[in-house]
Amino acid sequence: MKDRAPASSRGGRRRPRVWLVVALIPLLVVAAGLGAAGAQRRYVVAFANVTEEPGVTVEGTGFTGREIHDGFVLAARQYPVEMVYYDNRRDDARATQNADAAIARKVDLYIQYHRGAANAAIGQKLKAAGIPVLALNYPVPGAPLFALDNVAAGRVAGEALAEFALRSWRGQPTAAVVVGDLSATADRVPERAQGVTEVLARRLPAVHVTPLDTKGNPAQVGPLLGKFLAAHPTGKVLLAATDDTTALAAKSAVEAAGRVHDTAIVSHGVDRTIHGGMNDRKEIDPNNRGSIVIGSVAFFLDRYGYEVLPLALRMLRGESVPARVPSRLVLVTAANVFLEYPPYDMN
């Protein structure tokens, strides 16, 4: 009895703790469930694309809006997101309608890729609806901006040309050309030319840079370049093309003028015309190292989804995101094209 009483007494003291544990179990279960749900939560992310019109290229490159869309589709496979796609059709009214639709749908985040005056008002609307915005290439006031830096891209191209000239043509008379749609200010193509010119002026001060404006017509590359080469019958030529189509047209013009051994070309974009599938004839290719197109600055527009969605998820998780995030730029050459763009299309 003497022993039992303390035991009983001990039991009496423990019972409330047992009840406490029992009472806490449902709470713990609910909390665990909420935690699991939080970890596996699928966010609804809207991507309002600049255009999805078939065949229409964007940013003064060979990439189409559809390729950017497809890049988001592929990237989204690995993230806990449900994507909703809109086509801004390069139209302010349409972009506004898309934002309204996303607000009605109560998306968790809105990725806005639109070049127009409506961006400010759209940003205000989304903010009022409590929907965070991530801007792509063109600012939305108050939203982080993921953007292509065209001047930086031009500098990469300029460095590649300068390096080539210093390595291969040191001491030889050299001229330089920047060819492309140099009047496409909306696509910021002149900024590429600016970057190229800056670097060449610094690294090769004796080299004069001549701009050749195709005004968006690749068929003009041949006549413009033909005249230039005729006016410079001797010496070497560094040629910066503002996009890959222009680069390929320039290569043809150089071949037609018989100046292959005098010319080096660096391009911008790295669209499919220049890297291609497994069995395409690829200008930049490990098996085509002798090409006068020595490289192109990759903009990775077709992989924006892989860079933008991680930023979107960081925003959704309440993490800070820099106000401006530059998109990746890489000089793609025959030496690294299969690292950056391993071909998978077997056609």
Partner 1 sequence: MKPRAIVAVVAALVVLAFGSAAFAQSDCKTLVPASPWGPNDQTGATNRVTPAVTKAAATEIKDGKVIAMSYPLTDGVPLFGTRFTKTILTATTLAPGGALGENQLTYMEDTWLSQSHVGTHLDGMGHIGRKDCYYNQTPMGKFITQNNMTKLGLEHLKPFATRGVIVDMVKVYQQANKLKANPACKKPCLDKGTVITGADIQAGLKMYNVTLREGDIVIIHTGWGDLFEQFPAQNALYNSGEPGIGKDAATWLISQKVVAVGTDTWAVEVIPGESPKEAFAIHQMLLTDNGIHIMENVRTDLIAAEAASTGRATFFFNMTVPKAVGLTGNFVGIEAIR
Residues that bind partner 1 (CB under 8 A): 73-74, 77-78, 277-279, 303, 306, 338-347
Q: Cβ 6 to partner 1, closest distance in Å?
A: 54
Q: Residue 62 or residue 180: which is nearer to partner 1 going by CB? A: 62
Closer of 232 and 328 to partner 1 (Cβ): 328
- Could you give the dihedral angle defined by the CA atoms of residues 330, 135, 82 and 124, in that order, rounded to the nearest 10 degrees? 180
- Nearest to partner 1 of 65, 276 (CB atom): 276
- Calpha distance 53→89 (Å, rounded): 7
131/309 with CB nearer partner 1: 309
What is the dihedral angle through the alpha carbons of 240, 245, 249, 254, rounded to the nearest 10 degrees? 30
113 vs 341, beta carbon nearer partner 1:
341
C-alpha to C-alpha distance for 113 and 138, rounded to whole angstroms: 7
Integer-rounded Cα radius of gyration of the chain: 28
Least distance to partner 1 from the beta carbon of 275, Å? Answer: 12
Q: Residue 325 belongs to what H/E stretch?
A: strand 324-326
Supply 234's token pair: 């001797």
Task: In angstroms, give the least distance from the CB of 62 to partner 1.
Answer: 17
Q: Find out whether 117 and 138 touch, Cβ atoms under 8 Å.
A: no
- Shortest distance, position 308 Cβ to partner 1, whole Å: 14
Kindly state the smallest distance separating residue 145's Cβ from partner 1, in Å.
23
Minimum CB distance to partner 1 smaller for 18 or for 278: 278
Q: Find the shortest distance in angstroms from Cβ 134 to partner 1.
A: 20
* One-character DSSP codes across 21-68: HHHHHHHHHHHHHHHHHHHTPPEEEEEEES---TT-B-TTSS-BHHHH
Cβ distance to partner 1 smaller for residue 114 or 303: 303
Closer by beta carbon to partner 1, 115 or else 282: 282
Amino acid at position 44, single letter = V
Burial of 88 (0-12, 13-18, 19+ CB in 10 A): buried
* Minimum distance of partner 1 from residue 214's CB (angstroms): 31
Place of tokens 């991507």: 47
Q: Yes or no: say if 152 and 160 are a contact pair by the CB < 8 Å rule.
A: no
Long-range contacts of 31-34 (CB under 8 A, 24+ apart): none
Q: Report, in Å, the least distance between residue 344 CB and partner 1.
A: 5
**Interacting residues of 255 by C-beta distance below 8 A, sequence separation 6+:** none
